[in-house]
Amino acid sequence: MKITIMGLGYVGLPLAAALTKKYQVTGFDIDEGRIQELKSGHDRTAELESSVLKSIDMKYTSSKDDIKSQDIYIVTVPTPVDKNNKPDLTIIEKASKTIASVMAKGAIVVYESTVYPGVTEEVCGRILEKESGLKCGVDFFLGYSPERINPGDKKHTIYSITKVVAGQTPAVTKTLEEMYSQVTDVFVAKNIKTAEAAKVIENSQRDINIAFINEITQIFSKLGISIYDVLDAAKTKWNFLPFTPGLVGGHCIGIDPYYLAECSKKVGHNPEVILSGRRTNDAMGSMLANQVHHLLSDTTSYGQAKKILVLGLTFKENVPDLRNSKVIDVIKGLQNFGYALDVVDPLADPAEAKKEYGIDLKDITDTSSSYQAVLLLVSHDMFIKNQENILLKLDKGGLVFDIKNVWNPKTISEKYRFTTL
Ligand SMILES: NC(=O)c1ccc[n+]([C@@H]2O[C@H](COP(=O)([O-])OP(=O)(O)OC[C@H]3O[C@@H](n4cnc5c(N)ncnc54)[C@H](O)[C@@H]3O)[C@@H](O)[C@H]2O)c1
């Protein structure tokens, strides 16, 4: 079988690499820079090591001519929201148009991008049909298989996560089941809409659970109780769900609930819980900035521009992904209070940090040796390991604010003020 993966990002590249073990795979991406990078053996998403990339037998291309008449097209392009938090389907629509212009009779088009129920059949299927002149369900077929990878997670990988699969007909489902089971375990969902719905609720459920923890974190902070102490106690109950507080950014958990909310509104239901969770999580950055300001405002040097060292800019730990990072909300909040900030993130691309957020990332070796506060906002392993060296940069009496609770307070000198959420 000839398979083309449309979109070689965090999702598409590992999937393409896994399928090369059994099939003839072409990786298509409109970003020519990305194609050149991959050809040279470099993956900026850090999902595949250079040695692995170089050993893969796959054709990389930006040319439509190279993806004509494939048996299967798998679409792994972004599905973001617009500035009003409404699903922006333009990218997946464009990818569908490209496929329509090259596919032949008998093709199967599988979508892996996160969408809301109905997008595969009612949006993409119609585009494919209109642009190709072929009949959906007769001349070509649809499938949906949501992606569940967790970038930066070396335990839950494409080879160990169960893949939910649904096809337009039993025969298509069987073909897709066979293909994906070359990589991992497969669960066949009842139909395409069910598979779409399963994916979008997985991330929305996470968002709501984290929102609850973020809300009680704020309540307990006012009561002078640490959420982490509370969680240590509460999670001893067998059915307590051990979510932790934090900034919810990135391309999935902070976005997908808006897809669910949109489809809810389409059927006339007001998605109160879903959107309330989003509001709580989106407010977390400014809440943290206020908390830091409060903690710093009672020290003697208040009034002078205090210097703060911020650790981490990516949307979560151990990934280079800067998209929709909520660290920026903390940074902006503190800048508005007048603090001078240095931001360090060895995993993030400095050019992208400048372009996306206007931040000049610093190398830890180029930072000052006199800060009044160190904020650990993203718990990259390298920050955990280098705790001692990093804290040498803090003035006596300085604030150590570890929002992820990963530094061991027992190993932090008493000359600093240590706090967590
Ligand atoms: N990143 C994750 O952890 C993750 C996990 C599960 C699901 N998803 C979902 O998977 C989808 C892809 O996410 P991602 O993180 O891999 O995105 P990404 O931005 O890392 O990669 C997408 C790639 O698609 C390319 N692209 C854009 N338009 C294209 C087109 N018309 N034709 C071909 N290529 C095109 C881009 O250049 C980019 O390289 C999204 O719907 C996302 O919600 C992501």
Cβ proximity of 91 and 119 under 8 Å:
no
| Nearest-angstrom CA–CA distance, 216 and 231 | 11
Q: What are the tokens at 137? A: 């369900």
Cβ proximity of 323 and 348 under 8 Å:
no
Tell which atom from ligand 1 comes closest to the C-alpha of 94: 31
147 lines ligand 1 (CB under 6 A): yes
C-alpha closest to that of 90 among 127, 55, 138, 47 = 127
| Nearest-angstrom CA–CA distance, 216 and 202 | 22
| Nearest-angstrom CA–CA distance, 220 and 392 | 31
| Residues of the chain under the 50 pLDDT cut | 300, 302
What is the phi-psi region of residue 280: left when phi exceeds 0, alpha when psi lies from -120 to 50, beta otherwise? alpha
The runs of H, that is alpha helices, within 108-241 are: 125-132, 170-180, 192-223, 227-234
Q: Please report the pLDDT score of residue 94 as a whole number.
A: 98
Cβ proximity of 246 and 284 under 8 Å:
yes
Domains and CATH numbers, the chain: 2-190 (3.40.50.720), 200-281 (1.10.1040.10), 287-420 (3.40.50.720)
Query: 175, exposed or middle or buried, with CB in 10 Å at 0-12, 13-18, 19+?
Result: buried
Cβ proximity of 421 and 405 under 8 Å:
yes
Whether 252 is a known active-site residue: answer yes
Q: Please report the pLDDT score of residue 304 as a whole number.
A: 59
| Nearest-angstrom CA–CA distance, 360 and 331 | 12
| Nearest-angstrom CA–CA distance, 367 and 379 | 19
Buried b (16+ CB within 10 A) or exposed e, 270-306: ebeebbebbebbbbbbbbbbebbbeebeeeeeeeeeb
Q: What are the tokens at 397? A: 């009496």
C-alpha closest to that of 169 among 136, 141, 145 = 141
CA 381 to ligand 1 center in whole angstroms: 26
Identity at 187, one-letter amino acid code: F
Q: What are the tokens at 262? A: 């949109």
DSSP 8-state code for residue 124: I
Q: How far is CA 133 from the centre of its chain?
A: 36
Tell which atom from ligand 1 comes closest to the C-alpha of 31: 37
Cβ proximity of 95 and 26 under 8 Å:
no
Q: What is the pLDDT of residues 331-365, one digit of tens each?
A: 999 999 999 999 999 999 999 999 999 999 999 99
Residue ID of nearest Cα to ligand 1 atom 32: 95
- How far the first Cα of the chain sits from its last, in Å, is 52
Q: Are strands 307-311 and 371-376 parallel, antiparallel or unpaired?
A: parallel
Q: Please report the pLDDT score of residue 336 as a whole number.
A: 94
CA 13 to ligand 1 center in whole angstroms: 9
Residue ID of nearest Cα to ligand 1 atom 18: 9
